[in-house]
Amino acid sequence: MQRALVVDDHLEARARVRSALQDVYEPEEICEASTAQAASRQVDGGPFDFAVIDLSLPDGRGESLIGKLRAANPDCYVVVWTIHDQTARLIDVLAQGANGYLLKDQDEASLRNSFKRIQFGEPPLSASVTRRLLEYVQQQGGPEHRSPAGTGKISGNLIDDPESLLTDREREILVLLSQGFNRPDVAGILGISKSTVATHTANIYAKLNVNSRLEAMERARQFGFI
């Protein structure tokens, strides 16, 4: 990891995150910001590979930074670090592209372990956050309210043969992205260039009619790819 960004208006919280990141990833540079405006200026100075952001900042909502971080580097791994555990906000933040959602009740050892597990494809989610996600999915209705696995809809058109929708390589990449690997990681695992991975990813998004990794993962689950 080259550059990481920690955004939180509390000095102690930033220090905890910084220490955990340094222990796990030893990034070349860790930048800090206490406001959304200061963080935005940091992003203007160059893309980040990893970002940990609080949602409540003195000058706005931390999730407003996700889009800018993604625009600067689509592979930036964004982890939310917050006291807020409302289901609606959690779902909204993940839909915007956050890769993880951790609550501040974690001690530094737990935070460090959450960062370590990312390397094994486990998204950083606090236990209570995982429970809320399960409850949310269950509340959306049973199978009678969803398309059967392997018969997902795209733009209202029934896909009769989802197996033929993606090439073998595209499915390999989709699975790896769903496991939390970024594009450089995928390129290394498959022995192909990052630009090739980017091209395949664009094709995947176009074929699945999605605009984010979260949406792509949902389509993949719907079709039984993962």
102 and 152: one domain?
no
pLDDT of residue 154: 45
When mean pLDDT is compared across 9-13, 172-176, 218-222, the lowest value belongs to 218-222
pLDDT of residue 196: 85
118 and 204: one domain?
no
189 and 91: one domain?
no
123 and 177: one domain?
no
pLDDT at 172 over 70: yes
Compute the mean pLDDT over every residue in the chain, rounded to the nearest whole number: 84
pTM reported for the whole predicted model: 0.64
pLDDT at 134 over 50: yes
55 and 159: one domain?
no
pLDDT digit string, tens, across residues 119-130: 888 889 998 888
163 and 206: one domain?
yes
State which residues form the domain around 157.
144-223
pLDDT digit string, tens, across residues 195-209: 888 888 888 888 888
Tell me which of 137, 153, 172 is where a domain ends: 137
Say how many domains are in the chain: 2
Confidence grade of residue 163 (pLDDT, cut at 50, 70, 90): low
149 and 175: one domain?
yes
pLDDT of residue 141: 57
127 and 171: one domain?
no
Tell me which of 90, 110, 137 is where a domain ends: 137
Measured at the CA of 208, the angle between CA 203 and CA 212, to 5 degrees, comes to 80
pLDDT digit string, tens, across residues 44-85: 999 999 999 999 999 989 999 999 998 999 889 999 999 888
Tell me which of 137, 172, 187 is where a domain ends: 137
- What percentage of residues in the chain have a pLDDT greater than 90? 40
201 and 172: one domain?
yes
63 and 32: one domain?
yes
156 and 131: one domain?
no
Q: What is the CATH number of the domain that holds 182?
A: 3.40.50.2300
Cross-strand pairs, 60: 57
123 and 169: one domain?
no
